[in-house]
Amino acid sequence: MKENNVKISVIGLGYVGLPLAVEFSKYFPVIGYDLSSDRIEQLKKGFDKTKELSKDEITSCGNLHFVHDPEEIQDSNVYIITVPTPVNINNIPDLSPLKDASLMVASKLSNNDLVIYESTVFPGATQNICVPILEELSGLKYNKEFFCGYSPERINPGDKNHSLSNTVKITSGSNEKTAKLVDSLYNKIVRVGTHSAESIEVAEAAKVIENVQRDVNIALMNELSMIFNKLDLDTEEVLKAAGTKWNFLPFKPGLVGGHCIGVDPYYLTYRAIELGHHAEIILAGRKINDQMGTYIAEQTVAQLTRQGINLIDAKIGILGLTFKENCSDIRNTKVLSIINHLKQYKCKICVTDDWVDKKDAKEELNVNLIELNAVRKCDVIIVAVAHDIFSNFSINQWKMMLNKDGVIIDVKSFYNRDTFKGTNIKHWRL
């Protein structure tokens, strides 16, 4: 395949696929396909509900066309699959989106076409799950009549400093020539360069352990915060002191949700179990992080009780619904576990988050969002997400939002311990 003949289809236009389609369209003709007709219509108008790209960035791409009809990807010769890879209610990998995308692409494959996967999977998934689907439906032979690559996504939602073009990209291919072609394609759009992995399996493993490492380290901080709370020590102050040593890693406690860190470790542990290995450290970290929403809710109850506030009908304001700061992504948000746990106490709960579409919050999480200025006279406010807008409220603003002797549960330690001195406000932070 010559680069001047490349025609790309990007399958899935979420946080990963849309930036990829936009960047590749600067060099090649690109078709952007998504299952959601609403998403396609919005993108045609230049509106990205994820708020990752501006209207100008989307509409200025003359080589990019958004489609909802799978027949329109037929003339491509490079297919890049960026669909989600979630887990089910039992934390078992749900590969149905990946399989469905592979089936769709397989029906369009022609001789010498290239299929590149970006979705996070366990090592061996591309070769053992996706390739057989492509072979069976297309009737073509793998590594003879069609070829595969794997280049794991490294998109960090809401992060404008680490974008697609300035983050090193791992690339790989099903044979030496394919690996070189895949690497060459991505070098077009990643200005800081790529790392060509020795095999697709190495690239798959590298991706999944990136998030396993973060998950385990955050779990350690979460467990330490529980211990320090019992010791009546401020975790932030302890970490600040420990951080003066040159090799102390700067991880902090918090809620671990989203589509990556809260999910990817289960892909590796699933594969490990298939091989007869129980991944003790990884699963222990997952157990701690999965329970943090409940822990925050129970600490909220404890603080209300200490303040002499009746739990029944207590008014609780929750600031933030997304899984992380300054982004609109609500997938696997652990704020929901806080909400659900507090509901059993018959509390009155109000949630605000200007980053989230109210319709999406209702349809996907059954949460009714209110405006920030409607959060008033609460018995407790949980600062659940570190959105910038929540970081600099004045004491007068807090007094409007809280009742006398109200409580602030500061999950992300936004505010110093001295901030509320001289007031009746009780400040607890993780």
Calpha distance 397→122 (Å, rounded): 48
40-49 long-range CB contacts below 8 Å, 24 or more apart?
A: 40/13, 40/66, 40/67, 40/68, 43/13, 43/18, 48/18, 49/328, 49/357, 49/360
Task: Select which of 260, 327, 347, 378 is catalytic.
Answer: 260
Angle of helix 280-290 versus helix 200-230 axis, rounded to 10: 50
Q: Which amino acid is at 303?
A: Q
Max CA distance (Å), the chain: 75
Contacts (Cβ under 8 Å, ≥6 apart) of 90? none
Active site residue 347: no
Overall residue count recorded for the chain in this entry:
430
Calpha distance 355→372 (Å, rounded): 11
| DSSP H or E stretch at residue 268 | helix 264-274
Calpha distance 154→167 (Å, rounded): 8
- CB–CB of 133/106 below 8 Å? yes
Q: Give the burial class of 155: count Cβ atoms within 10 A of its Cβ; 0-12 exposed, 13-18 middle, 19 or more buried.
A: buried
3-class secondary-structure state, position 40: helix
- CB–CB of 69/32 below 8 Å? no
- CB–CB of 23/60 below 8 Å? no
Phi-psi region of 280 (alpha: psi -120 to 50; beta: other; left: phi over 0): alpha
User: Per-residue DSSP letters for 54-116?
Assistant: -HHHHHT-TTEEEES-GGGGTT-SEEEE-----B-TTS-B--HHHHHHHHHHHTT--TTEEEE
- Active-site positions? 260
